[in-house]
Amino acid sequence: MSNKNLMYRTLFVLAFFFICGQSRAVKPKFPDKEAFKNPALTYYPRPLWFWNDTRVSGDEIVRQMQAFRDSCSYGGFGILPFGKKFAPEYLSEAYFEVYEKALKKASELGLTMCLYDEFGFPSGGVGAHYGDGIGRFEKAYPEQTIKRLDKVEFEISGPTICIQKVPEGKLMAAVAMEKKSLKRINLSEQITNGGLKWEVPAGDWKMMFFMCVKDGDPIVDYLDPVAVHNFIRMTHEAYYARFEKYFGNVISGTFFDEPTMYRAKGRTWTNLFNEKFREKYGFDPDLWYPALWYNIGPETRSARNYLFGFRSELYAEGFTKEVNDWSAAHHITATGHQDQEEVLNPVSVSGDLMKCFKYLQIPGIDKIGGRPAERFYKLISSAAYNWNRPLVMSETYGAMGNISWNEIFSVAMDQYSKGINMLIPHAVWYNDKNVVFKPELSHRNPLYADSLRQFNQFLARLNYILQQKGRHVADIAVLYPIQTLQGEHSLDGPLGFYKGGVDIPLTDYIDVANWLTEDVGKDFTFLHPEVLDEKCDVSAGKLLLRNSVTSEEFKVMIMPSCKTISLSNLKKIKSFYENGGNLIFTTQLPVYSVELGKDQEIKDIIHSIFPNPEQNGTSMHVNAKGGKALFIANPDGQSLRSALEKLQLNFDVNYATNKYLRYIHRVIAGHDVFYFANVGGSELDTKVQLQGNPSPEVWDPHIGNVIIPKKQKNSQSGIMLKLAPYHSVFLISEHKR
């Protein structure tokens, strides 16, 4: 980076216009100017360190670690063994000997390490994929590898006698469905000694066996906590048995990589599914299995929500919770991310991209290659807020090539403005002559050598401010429409399991999210339906998220395209509206209930809010308490902005539309912390109004300085914010209720 570009990056001018008498000194405890200017090493990023396709030696490990700290300003590493030629053998005593050299050197240098749980990726095979190809987990626990749900079907016309052998695998359900009436019959009681004998009634029938079988992939059964516990014994416990003294100090966390339910052809299942389902709900799911593939009539969407929703719950409890609980018990934190986070319909991929992080201390995402992960950052940070988690991780830059410094800064600022506060660079490489996924982010790469220390110090300053415990502030909640996605999903869809299988028409929740960011200039939080039911209360025109740390207060609730919604959710939304809250529905109004037999109640509630929904948002419906509701049939950024303007609310942040301006507002230790970033290539000059018209100090994370502006008399309230391209600032003031 040239000196000229560096100077331009650090140039910015802020002109402040304040109402008199509002300036107050910042308390000294937080933030601390010296700690911001020169953050502690623990705030510096810890990249993944690929030990790639070669034999590693203790001496070279020690040499590289010293150089990475001194020349790059890295604060630690996550060691990732990788490739068929890697040596010494994974989990061998020779492997642990060189690993211990890294731990000892980290202790000497004041670095912290993250325990990567695999040899290659994804997590769960112990070397089976992108390692040496040896499925160590499968060899040790052949019956605990991933399972798949298969459907074996044939057609038959009655009356007749049907005799069939039950296919191989564990029988989950045997169901006959009459093709015209969709009447279903549970045939399980007609099975004896592995064979079915059934007197077929008149009609044309589709007979289906649903079998849970071993998929053949050597990876762990993610839905089975016993299997995952054994995976942890092979990996995490092997490190702890040798390096207990490093846990909780040098080793501060674990990292899992790309588990997913798109494996097993998107039909990941587990042998104990039915037993656990009965334990939770008190009835058998047998007659609902056909809904996983077919329309079964009025029960279709309820059945799919129960079955797909329960599978997602098993996934969260089976894998993520097991890893998280083990980590917590060993005095460290757990993080990781899914694969294919950018799929709009996650039901056969992550299952439920918010809920799979319910039990994880640090939810995460992967910004890799050309995938548009930036459209989904808010979903991951919202999962953290929903379940009271203060940290949000992103593995960033992998397979993006030798990108420019401008893009590197732009990506980082976009992430931190959307709630991420732990960026893990991807990656540095032991063998920098054989980099598989560029860029190689170390001093050895001439493209980055001159400014890498500056960039990592910039990240450390962001981390110092935004990793502090505090709450996110946004006036807008957006319902995560997973119940609609589950209700419309079916297995073996035309898109293929890797891309989500089924393209669900009218899906707009991610568009709504990005219109809010880029076209409206408003931050928001996704609310999971479970969290809306269990953690949210209505009070005086506000929807309150009750968490001990990440509490929030919302003035507006947006329901993106929802065909199916739980009656409990809609009742709470209606209560919010009736108590003066503001509602915006987009594209599709709800018509189906998750709960069985409650569709008409859904329609009645919607009709009570929108007696004439055909108005398509051209006017508002206002109730006696001042609650307002709009429906936007064909939403875009402008119509969403117009709808919010019609509500005439005082939002916490206001500025003229600029798609490159980003912000996040948090309350930390009695201070309002606003982070504003210009992620684009042109200078940005705009007026920003902050609720309460505070008198903030200006903290620049690029150069570490702090400006305490002078008040100007006889001026209009607000802040004129001028930011150079790819530049950002914090505005920090005492918090006032």
Residues 378-418: tens digit of each pLDDT = 999 999 999 999 999 999 999 999 999 999 999 999 999 99
Which of 217, 233, 247 minimizes the C-alpha distance to 122?
217
**460 pLDDT exceeds 50?**
yes
Check residue 228 and report its DSSP letter: H
pLDDT of residue 711: 64
**26 pLDDT exceeds 50?**
no
Torsion of CA 645, 646, 648, 651, to 10 degrees: -40
Distance CA 350, CA 259 (A): 8
**551 pLDDT exceeds 80?**
yes
Distance CA 337, CA 83 (A): 21
Burial (0-12, 13-18, 19+ Cβ within 10 Å), 206: middle
**22 pLDDT exceeds 90?**
no
**712 pLDDT exceeds 90?**
no
Given the structure tokens 């890294």, which residue do they identify?
Answer: 102
**12 pLDDT exceeds 50?**
no
pLDDT, average across residues 715-725 = 82
Q: Measured at the alpha carbon of residue 99, what is the angle toward residues 97 and 102, in degrees to the nearest 5? A: 120
CA-based diameter of the chain, in Å? 93
Which of 158, 161, 128, 159 minimizes the C-alpha distance to 142?
128
362 with 156: CB under 8 angstroms?
A: no
Identify the band that residue 15 occupies on the pLDDT scale cut at 50, 70 and 90. Answer: very low
Distance CA 199, CA 197 (A): 7
Given the structure tokens 């990781």, which residue do they identify?
Answer: 336
- What angle in degrees, to the nearest 10, is found between the helix axes of 567-578 and 599-609? 20
Which of 155, 269, 273, 169 minimizes the C-alpha distance to 222?
269
**617 pLDDT exceeds 80?**
no
Terminal Cα distance for the chain, rounded: 43
**248 pLDDT exceeds 70?**
yes
Which of the two residues, 9 and 347, has the higher pLDDT score?
Answer: 347
For 496, other C-beta atoms within 10 Å of its C-beta total 13
Distance of CA 517 to the CA centre of its chain: 17
Identify the band that residue 615 occupies on the pLDDT scale cut at 50, 70 and 90. Answer: low
45 with 75: CB under 8 angstroms?
A: yes
Q: How many residues does the chain have?
A: 737
524 with 472: CB under 8 angstroms?
A: no
pLDDT of residue 619: 67
Identify the band that residue 708 occupies on the pLDDT scale cut at 50, 70 and 90. Answer: confident
pLDDT of residue 313: 98
Q: Give 120-149 pLDDT, tens digit per residue.
A: 999 999 999 999 999 999 999 999 999 999
Distance CA 275, CA 282 (A): 10
**1 pLDDT exceeds 80?**
no
pLDDT, average across residues 542-570 = 98
Distance CA 477, CA 525 (A): 5
pLDDT of residue 217: 98
| 3-state SS class at 606 | helix
Which of the two residues, 611 and 550, has the higher pLDDT score?
Answer: 550
Identify the band that residue 716 occupies on the pLDDT scale cut at 50, 70 and 90. Answer: low
Identify the band that residue 714 occupies on the pLDDT scale cut at 50, 70 and 90. Answer: very low
pTM exceeds 0.75: yes
**473 pLDDT exceeds 80?**
yes
Distance CA 261, CA 223 (A): 9
In this structure, what token pair is assigned to residue 591?
A: 């018509």
Q: Tell me phi and psi for residue 453, to 5 degrees.
A: -65, -40
pLDDT of residue 7: 35
Q: Measured at the alpha carbon of residue 675, what is the angle toward residues 669 and 680, in degrees to the nearest 5? A: 170
DSSP 529-568: HHHHHHHEEEETTEEEE--SSS-EEESEEEE-S-SEE-HH
Q: Give 296-316 pLDDT, tens digit per residue.
A: 999 999 999 999 999 999 999
Which of 89, 168, 14 minimizes the C-alpha distance to 721?
14
Distance CA 423, CA 414 (A): 11
pLDDT, average across residues 45-58 = 97
Distance CA 355, CA 321 (A): 11
Which of 580, 582, 569 minimizes the C-alpha distance to 539?
580
pLDDT of residue 5: 42
Identify the band that residue 612 occupies on the pLDDT scale cut at 50, 70 and 90. Answer: confident
Burial (0-12, 13-18, 19+ Cβ within 10 Å), 701: buried
Identify the band that residue 4 occupies on the pLDDT scale cut at 50, 70 and 90. Answer: very low
pLDDT, average across residues 31-35 = 96
For residue 282, which amino acid is it? G
Check residue 43 and report its DSSP letter: G
**709 pLDDT exceeds 90?**
no
pLDDT of residue 695: 85
Strand order in the sheet with 12-17: 12-17, 718-723, 684-690, 653-655
Distance CA 378, CA 511 (A): 12
Distance CA 74, CA 41 (A): 8
Q: Give 160-200 pLDDT, tens digit per residue.
A: 999 999 999 999 999 999 999 999 999 999 999 999 999 99
| 3-state SS class at 125 | coil
268 with 363: CB under 8 angstroms?
A: no
On the CB side of 105, CA atoms within 13 Å amount to 21
Q: Is there a cis peptide before residue 427, judged by omega within 30 degrees of 0?
A: yes
Task: Supply the mean pLDDT for the chain.
Answer: 94
Given the structure tokens 């240098």, which residue do they identify?
Answer: 109
